[in-house]
Amino acid sequence: MTKTLQGVVHGKVIELAEDLGLSEGQKVDVTVRVRETNSEWGQGILRSAGAMAPYWTDEDDRILDEIEQERRRPSTREIPE
């Protein structure tokens, strides 16, 4: 049986979020992987910033400028009389 659970470390004890469903004294193998803590909103994009820098071209800048200009144009239209 393989089961993935979450827990919290307290010294040499790991307190699990739910019951394993195993009998007392049952021997187990344990693999521990540290979870990423919930960071502040926006930190993910800051960590990934610059990932595409080696592949970015002047054409990409031109396309993004064009998109930005389109977004700034008024989205309303005149109603004919």
Q: Which residues of 13-41 are buried (b: 16+ CB within 10 A; e: fewer)?
A: eeeeeeeeeeeeeeeeeeeeeeeeeeeee
pTM above 0.75, yes or no: no
CA-to-CA distance for 22 and 70, rounded, in angstroms? 61
pLDDT tens track for 33-58: 888 777 788 887 877 878 888 899 99
> Which of the two residues, 80 and 27, has the higher pLDDT score?
27
Residue 71's pLDDT band (boundaries 50, 70, 90)?
A: very high
Distance of CA 36 to the CA centre of its chain: 10
CB 7: neighbour CB atoms within 10 A? 13
Mean pLDDT of the chain: 87
